[in-house]
Structure formats: structure tokens, C-alpha cells
Amino acid sequence: MTESDAYPPIEAYALVGNLETCALVAPDGSVDWFPFPHLESPSILAAVLDAERGGRFRIAPSDSFETDRRYVDDTNVLETTFRTDDGAVTMTDFLPPAGRTGHPKKVLYRKLACSDGPVDLAVDLEPRFDYGRAETSIESTERGVLAEGDEERTLLESPTDLEIGDGRVTGELSLQDGDEEWFMLRCTGAEDADTDPEAALEETLAFWTDWAHSCDDGDCAFEGAWHDPVVRSELVLKLLTHAESGAIAAAPTTSLPEDIGGVRNWDYRFNWLRDAGFTVQALMNLGTADEANHYFDWFMDLCQADDPEAIQPLYSLHGESDLEERELEHFEGYRNSRPVRIGNGAAEQRQHDTYGELLLAVDEMHRHGRELDADEWERIRDIVDYVREIWDEPDAGIWEVRGGDEHFVYSKVMCWVALDRGIALATDGGYDAPLEEWRESRERIKADVLENGYDEDVGAFVQSYGSDALDATGLLLPIVGFLPFDDDRVQGTIDATEATLVEDEVFVQRYDGDDGLPGDEGAFVLCSCWLVDALALSGRVDEAQSRFETVLEYLNPLGLVAEEIDPETGAHLGNFPQAFSHIGIVNSAIYLGYVRGNETPGPAPMGIRLGDPVGLPSDSP
């Protein structure tokens, strides 16, 4: 078996989940990634990180086959249809969403329905608890085959006899036209639970159908060629939202490489506070106010629990701060991309942009009618006061570089944003604040950035003071209101970004400077969306739409996208699917729809009301 055979392309995977954890399903019917009981928990199945030692659960035809896959309408229920020379079988994969049905959430259901037969299928379960580190015992029981590790266990309930050998569970079955059978992988806590699989499927479909965005009530903010990708992005974001805490994971995976065979492999199964502002905007405009409020309450609780200095860039989905970064040395990594990491050392970094993002989110929620109580405002005021103290210090920046702290321009701008939104909140809400001091600091930051962050020779805002490297975050300066879109320095930054960071007219690199790590990386989907936004709000609407539709062509056939795209091959790179990539898609659709006259729920998006866009059609809302 070749390396490419052992590891499907990243973009080949599908995602299912239960609002607490997720599983990646390969086109050949193999579940290759399944942490349990939560996304940030150790894995039961991790063949995506080590084809030999990671573990998998595969059901597929014994003979050669072709595969078609789809999600059932606007749901997170996956259908994989296998077609052989003799027939066809459709496998339906899902987990019931936590607390949303009367069925156990800790069961991975796999339904097989034969529409043309006969089809012979092979079953192969290789449980590897605790990232393959735990001793595993496997034995037959009255209910099926039970596998146990140190802390977790699984029970595979099967319609066919199963055999145990060499740490694997195998079986065979043959289906005729019209046959239907169920496999259930019952995880810790659900081994003996009563289940009605057909009812579980029906209720899971009903939940997702009722929850997903619908245009039944008239005009849609996402009307256009991008409507379906936006709905799929919404469904991905919901899958990455933890039902209990409301936190949203950056991705459901760890260590899928940004550089195949390289070291740029990170654990993204956590929530980055810096994602807050644009996440809230996306959620509110999608009409998912409950999720936006739940997420808002979660990060406000974190801010109230910690002094501003102690606020971390990222936390676990349960608010835990200890995210010690470790390496799984026994795993070879996806296509030999090592090290495989769990935890993330960026939690210990100083990232000053985080404070601006938090204030963006608070301001966004406030504009949608969310009032702040006295305790919440006290915490926000403390954050703004803290930003006044530290804005002129270096930090690790939004990209979490590991080559040392710098005076990053975007970090300074987001400190300005923290002051600016704090002033707006205090003024609009009548909250007590030292407004004169805040305004003075806001002006000092802006003057400093204009003097040191803009390079006359480059004709653009640069990545850090004293550098001539460009950074895609420069595209956000007008969107967050730092300067208007028609400012020559803003337009120069857009032009310089296009000339330096853009490949094949659509793919945008994060930056062109050194980040202290070896190897290359792909183009960031999120940054490509930022360019779309900047162009659309600069009046270059047709160009923005053309670029956006090209970006959407690189989504996988199921509408999912990773963190990055390889501009040369179109292959997906990095963790998959990536929340921020899908947030970028939603927000770009908001901006494009808005400048073309579509109505959006609630107040205008931040790039409209703050950045003084140009060239809007006369009938824009």
C-alpha cells in the first residue's frame, strides 16, 4: 500500500457529530478520526494520524466499488453509496445531537440499505484508545463485541457474527435488494441504553432540518450562487459548537499538516477568543441568535473569571486553561507529517489582538440588543483599561509566530479597536467609564500605527514595525473602522496584497515574512475571504464576487473546507474542516449580499457601518 492509499486526501473526508464530538468518515467507509467523549478528548479512532496504529471502523464492499456521498438535505446526516458490479448499498452515518433527541448521544449509528444486490461487505473495527497508548482488551458479549481501554470502552452491536483477532474485530455480511441492517458503535455510558435506530435517524434528521437556515419567510441575506455553501458552513459551525458550554472549536482535528511531511501541525480542538467578533457577526446574520448568545455568555464568563492579564488566547471547550502542548511520538502523522501534537502552546502566548476581538463581539451583541449587566461592564471596563497599559508592548500576534514577539501592526490596531468599541459601548449604553482617558489613548494608538505601521516605500501597512513584509490582516483595517475604504493607504494595502500575497488571482497567503518555522504553507481560505470583503466594500463588487465564487469552487463536494488550499494542486491543507474558513465564507456572503442590495437581519455588518465603504448601490439597505 502506498502512502497516498493509506491516507486519503484531507478534502476527501466528511464530518458527522453530536455537538460534543465529531468523527471523520473517509470515502471508503472508514471512520478515521473519533475523539471521545469530547472533541478535545483522546481518540478512540485515529487512522488519519497513523494508518497502522491509530485505529479505524470501516464498513465497505468486499469487491471493488465506486462511491457517491451526500448529506441528507440540510442536515449533518451523511449518506455514502457504494456501487459494485453487482449492486449498490447506501450507508447512513450519524450521531444523535446531544440533548436534542430522546436517543443516546454516545452512539455512532451506521445503517446499511441495499438498493440493488447482492453486495458483500466487510466489517473492520480496530479500537485504539487514548491515541493508541492504552492497553486494549476485546471480548464477545451477549450484546456484541466489547473493547475496553484504560478509561473508555466501546460495544459494537452487529447484525452479523464478529471475530476477534490481533486487536481487531472483523466480520462479513451479504445484502440483497431491499435488505436493511444496522451497526451501532456504543461508547462509554451507552452500552446498555435502549435504542430504536430508525427513530433516532428520524429525530436526528428532524432536528437538523428544523435548525438549519431557511428562506421560507421571504428575502434572504444570502441570496445568490453562494446560498448552499453558506448553509453548509452554518451546519459545520453548529457541529463545532459544544452543546454544554456554547464554545466553538476552531476545528475538530489535530495535526493535519499545513505542509505535507513538515512540522506545521497543530491541535485546533479549542476555542480561540480572537475568533469572537467575526463569529458573532456570522451567527447573528444566519439567524442563530441562541448560539450567538450561548457563545457570548461563555466567553464573558471566562473574562469575568480572569484578570485581563490572565485572559488566554484560547481555552478548552469547557473553559480549561491548561492546554500543555505535547507530542505523540508513537504516531507517524498524516503522510509522515510529524510531530503529532495534542494541546497547544499558543495558550501561553501574549496576543494583544484578542482584546480587540472580544470588544468587537461585545459591541456586535450590544447592537443586536444584548444589554450588559453591571458585572459584565465592570469586566469590559477592566479589559479596556488594561489595553491602555500594554498596547505599546510587543506580542506574538494573530498568527502565533514562534520566532519571538514583535510590534505587530494588527495587534496595535486591535488595541485601538478595544478602546474604540469600549468608548462606543459606554456612550451608547450609558455605562460609567473614563471616556477622556480612553479617547486620548485611542488617538495615541492610531497616531503610532500611522507613523510606524505604514511604509511609504511599500505603499501599504506592513506586518510589524520596522519590517517591509506584508500581512493579510492589513485587509481588515477598514473593516474594523480604523480607516475608511477610500483612504489611499487602505487602497494601497489592498493593491500591495494583491501584488505580493495573492496566487492565481484568488489564493491569499497570510504574510511574506519569516515566522520562525521551517517549511511552506498553503493559502489561507480566511484571508482569501478577507480580500473579497475588502474589494466588495471598496466598490469593486464584480471583482469581489468573481473571486468569491472561485474560492467556493475549492470546497469539497460536500461543501467542507480546510484551513488552507495548496495553490498549485488545489489540495486542502491543515485541520479540517476549519471554523474560521467557514466563518469567512458566511461573512463574505453577507458583505456581497449587502452591497448588492440584499437585506440583512439587525444592524448593518461591521464593515458597512464602521469602514465607510464606497461604491454601494443606491438601493442598498
Phi first, then psi: give them for residue 342, nearest 5 degrees.
-125, 145
pLDDT digits (tens, 9 = 90+) for 553-566: 999 999 999 999 99
C-alpha angle with apex 33: 585 to 255, nearest 5 degrees? 65
Gap between the Cα atoms of 238 and 288, Å rounded:
9
Residue 44, exposed/middle/buried by CB under 10 A (0-12, 13-18, 19+)?
Answer: buried
pLDDT at 146 over 60: yes
CA proximity to 244, closest of 97, 63, 373 = 97
Gap between the Cα atoms of 21 and 269, Å rounded:
10
Gap between the Cα atoms of 137 and 147, Å rounded:
6
Which residues neighbour 165 within 8 Å (Cβ) at sequence distance 6 or greater?
none
Phi first, then psi: give them for residue 448, nearest 5 degrees.
-65, -45
pLDDT at 215 over 90: no
pLDDT digits (tens, 9 = 90+) for 319-370: 999 999 999 999 999 999 999 999 999 999 999 999 999 999 999 999 999 9
User: What grid cell was written down for 546?
Assistant: 468573481
pLDDT band at 218; cut points 50, 70, 90: low
pLDDT band at 285; cut points 50, 70, 90: confident
Q: Where are the beta strands (DSSP E) in 117-259?
A: 119-126, 137-140, 145-148, 153-157, 162-165, 168-175, 180-187
Q: What is the pTM of this model?
A: 0.96
pLDDT digits (tens, 9 = 90+) for 383-429: 999 999 999 999 999 998 777 899 999 999 999 999 999 999 999 99
pLDDT at 568 over 70: yes
- The reported pLDDT for the residue numbered 619 is 43
Establish if 379 belongs to a structural domain: no
Establish if 621 belongs to a structural domain: no
Gap between the Cα atoms of 144 and 189, Å rounded:
15
Sign of dihedral through CA atoms 354, 360, 363, 369?
negative
CA proximity to 17, closest of 243, 184, 198, 299 = 243
Query: What CATH number did the domain enclosing 595 receive?
Result: 1.50.10.10
pLDDT digits (tens, 9 = 90+) for 587-596: 999 999 988 8
Establish if 508 belongs to a structural domain: yes
Establish if 365 belongs to a structural domain: no
pLDDT at 615 over 70: no
State the average pLDDT over residues 102-114.
Answer: 96
Domain residues for the domain of 504 are: 453-607
pLDDT at 231 over 50: yes
Which residues neighbour 170 within 8 Å (Cβ) at sequence distance 6 or greater?
122, 123, 124, 125, 162, 163
- The reported pLDDT for the residue numbered 303 is 86
Whether the ω angle into residue 118 lies within 30 degrees of 0, i.e. cis, is yes
- The reported pLDDT for the residue numbered 3 is 57
User: What grid cell was written down for 214?
Assistant: 431557511
Place of cell 437581519: 601
Establish if 231 belongs to a structural domain: no
Among 100-104, 217-221, 372-376, 562-566, the least confident range: 217-221
pLDDT band at 621; cut points 50, 70, 90: very low
The H or E element that residue 260 is part of is none
pLDDT at 219 over 60: yes
State the average pLDDT over residues 264-286.
Answer: 92
State the average pLDDT over residues 120-143.
Answer: 96
pLDDT band at 1; cut points 50, 70, 90: very low
pLDDT at 576 over 70: yes
User: What grid cell was written down for 49?
Assistant: 494520524
Q: How many domains is the chain partitioned into structurally?
A: 1
Place of cell 455553501: 229
For residue 397, give the 3-state DSSP assignment: coil
Gap between the Cα atoms of 26 and 47, Å rounded:
10
pLDDT at 293 over 60: yes
- The reported pLDDT for the residue numbered 88 is 97
- The reported pLDDT for the residue numbered 596 is 87
Percent of the chain with pLDDT over 90: 84
Establish if 129 belongs to a structural domain: no
Establish if 316 belongs to a structural domain: no
pLDDT at 106 over 90: yes
Establish if 550 belongs to a structural domain: yes
Gap between the Cα atoms of 83 and 87, Å rounded:
6
pLDDT digits (tens, 9 = 90+) for 170-186: 999 999 999 999 999 99
pLDDT at 620 over 50: no
pLDDT band at 216; cut points 50, 70, 90: low
For residue 593, give the 3-state DSSP assignment: helix
Place of cell 460534543: 20
pLDDT digits (tens, 9 = 90+) for 471-522: 999 999 999 999 999 999 999 999 999 999 998 888 999 999 777 677 788 8
Phi first, then psi: give them for residue 506, nearest 5 degrees.
-140, -35
Contact 274, 353 (CB under 8 A): yes
